[in-house]
Structure 1
Amino acid sequence: MTAPKADTTTAEPDTEALRERALASLTTARDRTTLLTTCVEEAELVAQHSPLMSPLVWDLAHIGNQEELWLLRTVGGREAMRPEIDGLYDAFEHPRSERPSLPLLPPAEARRYAAEVRGRVMDLLAAADFRGTRLTEAGFAFGMIAQHEQQHDETMLITHQLRTGPPALTAPDPEPGPPFTGPAEVLVPGGPFTMGTSGEPWALDNERPAHPREVAPFWIDTTPVTNAAYQEFVEDGGYDTERWWAPEGWAHIRRHGITAPLFWHRDGEHWLRRRFGATEVVAPDEPVLHVCWYEADAYARWAGRRLPTEAEWEKAARHDPATGRSRRYPWGDADPAPEHANLGQRHLGPAPAGSYPAGESPLGIRQLIGDVWEWTASDFLPYPGFRAFPYKEYSEVFFGSEYKVLRGGSFAVDPVACRGTFRNWDYPIRRQIFSGFRTARSESL
């Protein structure tokens, strides 16, 4: 096998550029956290809106606690500010279903704590030289904490979707673009490519190291599967036909009476959905949202196709056939801009399938980044040469067949926490997440 060219990385930025990037990333995350925790009354902050999710006030204080633990204590060598609360906000010590019963900080105190931590972190950042240890090199620890907060901002947005009552959040819908007229699928050539990264400064441990992968040629959808296409599966009795379903998936949907994507219901001739407190007609041209892995897999079987493997997805998203390079993003190495992808919660839903032509891959595949997380066929497993960093609980403890990999991010994900190499994972039954999918087929089919 001919070794592919390594992923391209830029020269190490200077200290001031790193400081500015860290400051901007932390500030953007905190602005979003503030919006998500001030748009509802205190009673809504302390309530648990679903046993799958934490109370919003837990997320708020957990964000501050993790920031204190890693930046102030570990990087800065400071004494613990509130050591007595560490256990309350340890995600592994208390499952989400138990968190409402804990003696959590009340909203005002949680806000003060998070703000005080951030103030001290700003002093630490102002003096940082980004040298010394792997944790501080290139500002990794600051980037890790910005990503952590943005991941909880996505989690909190899921909680807002699950809560009942009138809308608390507003955002403009994506600007409509010209209808997509490209092919339904494209052929991704076979051969090796570089998967993962060894040089992306803020990449997390499960994205590392870069390594060669050989992928056979395959066809992949140019856009995510739409609501209209998924409705055809529903109307054709997809939820009533056992042969489309993995045995565990069939048992799951029968046990829970699942007959459509989460938040959908039928009203006469129309399918309606609930979106952040408002009821609306399901938009036919948007990517389908809130489906679990079993639903995605069943649709793909019904359509005579399959879900792409994780390696196939990443090759489609990063490989440039003309140069043999693996790009950072489908469009190239530049950081995401609004014309590339639907990210950052600037919209509260996906754009129509085929949007963002500036963000397409060299092969013309669109919306690989943003809009909806895309289920893949792959279990969540380590790459060859994986080493946990900076702690095993970030991803190592989740490796195995229990979890399926999702790729590409969603409208709820900030650019700092979304790359062509970024890996997400969840149980195959999860539907509250902002998940969709696209399908693939082998070249010979």
Structure 2
Amino acid sequence: MAFLSLTLCAHYSCKKDASIPENNTISEQMYSAGQKSITADIIKTSDGGYLMVGTSYTNSPIEGDIVAIKTDARGIQQWTTSMGKASEMGSGSLNGQTVHYDEEGVKVVEESDGSFTIAGNRTYIAYPNINSSHGVKKHTKIVFYQLSSTGTATSTDGVELKSNDEFTERISDFKIDASSGTSKYILTGYTTDVNNSKPFYNTNTDLTDMFVMSLDNNFNFNWYEQNAAYGLQGKDYGTSVAITPDGYAVIGTTQTIHSGSTPSTKFLVTLFDKATGTPTKRSFHDSQGYDVEGGYSVYDATTQNITFVGNVVGGSLTIAQLDANLSTQYPTNQGFELLTPSSNGAFKASSIAIVPNNGGFVISSTKSDNLGQDICITKVENDFSLSSTVDWPHYYKTNNGINTNMHWAGPVLPSVDANGNLQYAYTGTFNANTFTSQIGWVLF
């Protein structure tokens, strides 16, 4: 069950010895934030530490709460905060029913004053009455929480967007744009409130649309864009947003329904005007009929290039690069390049980051094979070749990969230490296929 009120809790981090990383590891920490914990995001904080955000399940594997874990530079836990709206009587179509909330932590940013803003998804679960033991999942809404630098929440219930509309809207990414002197939150994800006027719209097959939103720092809408070709006829998702000097580039996937055959999915990058949310340019990326997923991006302000990664469904990683006007920089066409860190298994992308000092890129992904799922951190050189040096790729495996435990990759963050050495910190969900999974932090 979701917590009946906002709870602030602290747990000692514990070292797990069931799994070992394959490459040199400087430090490793695991955190118990409930009966079951799942990670989603990590940032390096202004004090040199880290903040991880995810979901914790204390009493039930069905209904969760958002959890934030703050550590020092060595991964030693400093505080933990859990956030969840209290159960209550429903309204609208849920009138007369008891509603619980399943909350999922997705992204976190640090504000200029050292506080934190966390974005997540809140799913309504309706029970016939307060004594019922079985509920039914209903719509999902985007929710924001704000924490002080010491982990104190400013609101028990957070701020929920579009509370009065009973359709699903889920966030995948958000960033702060302070280029105009006033902070704005830029969001992307998907909505089931599909737009009937977009090209190729089909009422029988159009299930979700991408969206992009601009909010002020009080979570009021500057604009909400849901017009014009947010995908095609099927399931369309916004995965990440890149802030460029002239617009917001939303990267995601779009699905086409083919008569008499299965849907096909390609990457779609859309550039939006910052002031109005009007789409100004689009770029589609597919190759050899592959179905793809993901679209995690990073923007390099020096080169003004957007680089994004994803993966072929059940296969290799993918990578492509555009300039700020969405002109393709790599590969030479509007497709993508395949990256295969090893000769066997399938990869699911989680993040991409720029390596300091013009060092290329680093990608986190989850590798699946018949031995389970492992975390794979891959280095890509500036020419987009896979690094072949001795430390790459970096794997986190269970007992050298000899049993079927599952470890899911979260984002990876490269940085330079006080001695000028490159380090990489990443978060993940460890033993993800158990009811006692943990959020972890690894530095190598």
The structure with the largest helix share of the pair is: 1
Normalised to the residue count of structure 1, the TM-score between the two structures is: 0.25
- The TM-score, its normalising length taken from structure 2, stands at 0.25
